[in-house]
Structure 1
Amino acid sequence: MSQLSSLPAEFQAALASMRSARTRSELSLAEVPAPARLAPYGVALGAEIVMAGEELATGRFILLHDPQGSQLWGGTFRVVTYVRAQLEPDLGNDSLLGNVAWAWLMESLDGHRVRYSNAGGTATRILSESHGALAARPDAIDLELRASWTPVGDSFAPHLEAWSHVVCTFAGLPPVPEGVTFLPRRAPRQDH
């Protein structure tokens, strides 16, 4: 028996739905190990946006499934996400930044018509100051958003699409209007 056929039908259907998700070409997604202790079944995707050799944003999207359901989740599935990006110092010092990051997620979920319940999360600003041999490095401010919600219904692609939109927002990519496709950015030409 194959490994896929041993999964519950609901989880197989969720995986198939996620495979149909459309994300921007700048976003690189790859399957990574899912946490084993949170639920009997899970899949995790790592994401990164790298342009001209610079990492603009990273993240993780995890879909958990417990066929018995979870009172804490309020359902049998749970989406757990993480997004991180380094910000310009003038942006990173804004005390409302956490509220803005949460609003980006809520707007993206609503904009992608995601049906969900029990959403919660934290937004964190991290200031890194270098000392000693590393003192020449400039200060850095990272923004992290950790969020989770319970999917409602059996369409999981919109959840992944909404989250990937948030990763792109964290990276500072401009929004893409419906029906428009941006051409990939080229690396600057290096004259020899």
Structure 2
Amino acid sequence: MPHTSQPVGRRERNKQVKLERIVAAASKLFAERGVDEVTTQEIAEKADIGAGTLFLYAKTKGELLLLVQNSTYAEALEQGKAAAAAVTDPIDAVMAIVRPVVECNRKQVDNGRTYLREIVFGDPAEPHHRDALALVAGTEEAIAAVLLRDGQASAQQAAARAHIVSAIMFVSMATTINAAHPVGAVVQEIRDQVQTLLPK
């Protein structure tokens, strides 16, 4: 007997609609004014829900930022993986993965830096934080897969190097000294460090 998926019930549809309104409201307000200048009450009002309802979806403003940024990070990672698949040089392929992640993180620099802080210091028991950590792990897996392609590294070496590349990327995006730098300058800084890490 073939398995058929059950239709989504009204309650689940309503939850999804509210979630979409929350993400849209938070995205707009965070982009306009930055996460630090927006209150959860403003997000609730823009999403046309009660503040109590908002906290059912995200318990803190940091979690709201994770919710908003995770979807753009996921899209950037998929874009980078697709680009890397068409590149043979390992460093160029790694940077093909890195660049869209940097671009999405720096659409609003302060929000991007706060997002990184939430990933590092947030509560891993919160679902949006877990999703963010999974994206970081997925980025490292994609980089490790690139480093394994030419047979120059073992799986363990590739994983270790991918973890270091991830750390380089995080620090370059988060550091205060780079806050005013354009995407290209941050990407070049990451590339310069990656080149010293990876064998020629």
> Which protein has greater RCO, CA pairs closer than 8 Å, 6+ apart?
1
Structure with the bigger percentage of strand: 1
| TM-score, normalised relative to structure 2 | 0.28
Higher helix share: 2
